[in-house]
C-alpha cells in the first residue's frame, strides 16, 4: 500500500510592510503593503509557502488582505483538510466549485501547494509547468511619485546603476493634458536610454483616452495600460485599432475566460498577466496560452507582492518562450525590508529566477515575526543590542 501525503494544516497571517515611498495610483496612494502569507504543513513533514496580495485595499479590486485571510481560514482550509497533497489540479477544481471568485485567496493556497509538491519531488515549480527556458527576464520599474522631477531623478539613477531601463508611469489622477506633459518631460529626460510606458488604472473615459493615447504616442510613449474601465471592451477595441501605441489589458483580465473575451473583441495588443489576478499559476498559464494563440504580446504583471509571490511568478514566466514586453516583477524592491532569507537578484536591467526546489525561496523567520500583524515588532538581531 502506497502512503499518500495529505494536507495536515493550513495557516495564514498578514504582514504589514512599509513602502520606500508613496506609490501613487489613480485610485489610491500606497505607503505600505499588506501581504497574506500561507503555510501548508503536510503529513510527511514537508511544507509549502504561498502569498496572496492585492493593491490599495478595496480601492483596486474586490479582495482585501482581511477578506483573503478570512476566505482561506473559513472556507478553503476546511475544504482541503486531509486532501491528497500531490493532487493540486484536483484541489483547484474543488475550490472552484466551493468558492466563487476570491482569486487572490486561491492563488495564495495554490502557490503553497505547488511549492510543497516541488520540494517533495526535488524540482523547481517551473519544471511542473514544462521547464524553464530562461534564467532571467527584463524588469520594469514603476515611477509613481506623481512629481516629474522626482521621477526623472529616480529613473536616471536606475539607468546609471543598471537596475532598470524600462519605466511605467502611473497616471490618471490629473487632467489628460497634464498627464501627457508629465510623461513628455520624463521621456525627454531619459531619451533613447529607456522605454517609457504608462498605466492609467481605468481612470479615463473613452473621450479622455482618445486624446490621451494621441498625445502619449506623439511624445514617444510605447504602451498604455488599461486606459478605460475593464468592462468597456468595445472602447478598448476602438483604442487598440485607432493608434499605433500598444494598448495593454490588465484589470480586464481575471482568468482565462476574460482573456478569451478580450482576445475575441480585439480589445488589446498586450496581456498583462498577473498570477494573483488570474487566480493562480495554473489559471495564469491558461491566460498566457490564450494570448499566445491570439498572437498578442505578453507582459508579466505584479500586484506589488513580496519576494515570495514574486518568486512563484518567476517560476511560471520562466517557462514562457517570449515575453514581448518583459516583466514588472519588482515588488520586493518597493518595500523597505526583505522577508526572504536570500533576496531575489536584480541586476543588469533584469530579474533572475530563484534557483532551488519548489518556488526556490525560503522565509526569514525573524522578519516574518516582526512584520506579522499583531507580531512582536522587535527583530531578534536588534533585541540583543
Please write the tens of the pLDDT for every residue from 155-194: 999 999 999 999 999 999 999 999 999 999 999 999 999 9
Q: Is 305 an active-site residue?
A: no
**pLDDT at residue 383 above 80?**
no
Which range marks the domain in which residue 203 is found?
128-352
Same domain, 65 and 137: no
Q: Are residues 180 and 88 in the same domain?
A: no
Residue 78, C-beta contacts closer than 8 angstroms, at least 6 positions apart: none
pLDDT in tens, 280-328: 999 999 999 999 999 999 999 999 999 999 999 999 999 999 999 999 9
Selected catalytic residue, list 106, 119, 168, 170: 170
Average pLDDT, the chain: 94
- Model confidence band, residue 385 (pLDDT cutoffs 50, 70, 90): very low
**pLDDT band of 27, cuts 50, 70, 90:** low
State the distance between the two ends of the chain, measured CA to CA, in whole angstroms: 55
Domain tally, the chain: 2
Distances (CA, A) of 16 to 23, 72, 312, 339, 347: 15, 18, 20, 11, 27
In this structure, are 12 and 67 located in the same domain? yes
Three cell numbers at 11?
Answer: 495557516
Could you read off the pLDDT of 220-262 as tens digits, one per residue? Answer: 999 999 999 999 999 999 999 999 999 999 999 999 999 999 9
Which three cell numbers, joined as nine digits, stand for 135?
534564467
Are residues 251 and 317 located together in one domain of the fold?
yes
pTM of the entire predicted model = 0.94
Whether 289 and 162 map to the same domain: the answer is: yes
Domain boundary among 73, 103, 122: 122
For residue range 39-64, what is the model confidence (pLDDT) as tens digits? 999 999 999 999 999 987 787 789 99
Neighbouring residues of 175: CB distance < 8 A, sequence distance ≥ 6: none
More confident residue, 145 or 124: 124
Catalytic: 367?
no
Amino acid at each position: 500500500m502506497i502512503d499518500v501525503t495529505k494536507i495536515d494544516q493550513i495557516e495564514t497571517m498578514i504582514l504589514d510592510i512599509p513602502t520606500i515611498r508613496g506609490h501613487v495610483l489613480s485610485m489610491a496612494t500606497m505607503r505600505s503593503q499588506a501581504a497574506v502569507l500561507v503555510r501548508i504543513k503536510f503529513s510527511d513533514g514537508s511544507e509549502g509557502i504561498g502569498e496572496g496580495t492585492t493593491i490599495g485595499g478595496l480601492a483596486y479590486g474586490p479582495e482585501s488582505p482581511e477578506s483573503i485571510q478570512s476566505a482561506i481560514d473559513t472556507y478553503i482550509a476546511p475544504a482541503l483538510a486531509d486532501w491528497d497533497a500531490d493532487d493540486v489540479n484536483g484541489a483547484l477544481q474543488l475550490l472552484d466549485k466551493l468558492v466563487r471568485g476570491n482569486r487572490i485567496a486561491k492563488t495564495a493556497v495554490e502557490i503553497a501547494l505547488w511549492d510543497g509538491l516541488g520540494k517533495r519531488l526535488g524540482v523547481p515549480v517551473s519544471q511542473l509547468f514544462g521547464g524553464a527556458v530562461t534564467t532571467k527576464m527584463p524588469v520594469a520599474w514603476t515611477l509613481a511619485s506623481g512629481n516629474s522631477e522626482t521621477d526623472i531623478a529616480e529613473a536616471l539613477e536606475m539607468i546609471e546603476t543598471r537596475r532598470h531601463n524600462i519605466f511605467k508611469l502611473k497616471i490618471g489622477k490629473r487632467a489628460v493634458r497634464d498627464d501627457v506633459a508629465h510623461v513628455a518631460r520624463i521621456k525627454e529626460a531619459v531619451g533613447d536610454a529607456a522605454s517609457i510606458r504608462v498605466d492609467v488604472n481605468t481612470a479615463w473615459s473613452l473621450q479622455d483616452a482618445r486624446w490621451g493615447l494621441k498625445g502619449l504616442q506623439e511624445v514617444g510613449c510605447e504602451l498604455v495600460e488599461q486606459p478605460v474601465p475593464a468592462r468597456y471592451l468595445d472602447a478598448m477595441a476602438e483604442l487598440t485599432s485607432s493608434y499605433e501605441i500598444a494598448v495593454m489589458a490588465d484589470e480586464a483580465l481575471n482568468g482565462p475566460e476574460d482573456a478569451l473575451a478580450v482576445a475575441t473583441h480585439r480589445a488589446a495588443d498586450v496581456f498583462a498577466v498577473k498570477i494573483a489576478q488570474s487566480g493562480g499559476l495554473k489559471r495564469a498559464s491558461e491566460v498566457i496560452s490564450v494570448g499566445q494563440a491570439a498572437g498578442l504580446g505578453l507582459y508579466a504583471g505584479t500586484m506589488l507582492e513580496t519576494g515570495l509571490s514574486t518568486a512563484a511568478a518567476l517560476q511560471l514566466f520562466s517557462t514562457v518562450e517570449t515575453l514581448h514586453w518583459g516583466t514588472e516583477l519588482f515588488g520586493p524592491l518597493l518595500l523597505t525590508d526583505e522577508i526572504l532569507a536570500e533576496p531575489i537578484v536584480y541586476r543588469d536591467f533584469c530579474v533572475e529566477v530563484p534557483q532551488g526546489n519548489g518556488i526556490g525561496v525560503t522565509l526569514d523567520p525573524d522578519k516574518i515575526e516582526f512584520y506579522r500583524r499583531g507580531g512582536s515588532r522587535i527583530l531578534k538581531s536588534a533585541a540583543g543590542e
